[in-house]
Amino acid sequence: MLDGVGGESGAGGAGFAAAPAAEADPAPRRGRAVPSYVAAEAETAPLPRITVSPPPFPPKTATRTPLSRIGDLPMRVVYRIAAAGLAIVVAAAAAVVLLVLRAQPGEAPSRPIAAPSAAPPSPASPVAPPTLAASPPPVSAPERTAMEDALDDPRVPGEPERAKLGKLPGKPARVAGRIIDRRSRVHLPRLGGPWKRAAASPFRTRQVLPAAKGAGHRALIVSCPVPIEVQDDLRDTALLAARWTLNHQPRGATLSWVASQPAKYGRVLAYRVKYQVKGEKRSSMAAVALVEPPKAAKPALVFVSIPDAQRSRWRDINTLISRIRPMR
């Protein structure tokens, strides 16, 4: 409907009255007001009763032990705990090893502690601490002498008795001159053929015979300063020197005394040496002469040994012993 001015009707236009409810459109459009019977029915419907159910109980969780919580720790803490445990185990093992070593047999026992006196100390004097009992000094075995060792040697038959050297078998060699041993400060004869001079080392002079088949060693005459410990008695020094000459005899050699006599120059000791060569019993005649030169630091030694295969040369030992002279 048009108003008097000819304008269109509006929702809030002036001069229009509201239409009565009875004249409303029987088919309302979407968004229009709800019919009155629906509203009345809604107002008379009973409200639903609201009930509040109690909250459910929380589920029971298993009680966690301290060991089960290790997994919650950071790895650096776990590593530190493991390192500390390893250090404790190593220290305990070292302590056990130390105790075992201390308990090993053979260790010197600890010295006993002296018991304190039964009488109480006087009030004026201080209490003295317990003192260690003085242990006796260790007793060392007496030191053996060279002579004791020589006399206990089964190769040496004790000390020789005094006896003069007699003439030995054979024909003596001629004396072709003399040999001067300036180091030993002694003169000795140079024997002619079949003797000849040879390289002296480790001695100072040496004379030898041709090698004899099956003899076991070569006949020789040598000189040098006495190579053993000098004793107070020249007879003892001669015995030690004779024992030392076994180093230049076949292995397993033993000796037996033949003569022990003084000489103008010192001492003479003659002996027989017995040994085996390829299972055959053999022997040598030998002698040592100790010479005491006036200005020498120690005596000189002249040693001669001739095997039984050259028995015809044993008389040369008599020639040698009689012609030795010390240097002045």
Say if 113 falls within a structural domain.
Answer: no
Query: Residue 168: is its pLDDT beyond 80?
Result: yes
CA distances from 57 to 35, 50, 52, 54, 61 (A): 49, 21, 15, 9, 12
Give the structural domain span for 257.
Answer: 152-326
Say if 201 falls within a structural domain.
Answer: yes
Arithmetic mean of pLDDT over the chain: 77
Q: Which residue has the higher pLDDT, 277 or 42?
A: 277
Q: Which residue has the higher pLDDT, 180 or 142?
A: 180
Say if 229 falls within a structural domain.
Answer: yes
DSSP string computed for 214-269? T-SS--EEEEEE--SPPPSSHHHHHHHHHHHGGGGS-TT-EEEEEEEEEETTEEEE
Say if 286 falls within a structural domain.
Answer: yes
Say if 73 falls within a structural domain.
Answer: no
284: domain CATH number is 3.40.1000.10
Query: Residue 127: is its pLDDT beyond 70?
Result: no
Pairing relation of β-strands 220-225 and 300-307?
Answer: antiparallel
Q: Model pTM? A: 0.57
Say if 86 falls within a structural domain.
Answer: no
Query: Residue 4: is its pLDDT beyond 90?
Result: no
Say if 275 falls within a structural domain.
Answer: yes
pLDDT of residue 273: 97
CB 143 within 8 A of CB 229: no
Query: How many structural domains is the chain composed of?
Result: 1
Say if 204 falls within a structural domain.
Answer: yes
Average pLDDT over residues 29-39: 50
Please calculate the CA angle 9-11-12 and round it to the nearest 5 degrees. 100
Average pLDDT over residues 283-295: 94
pLDDT of residue 296: 85
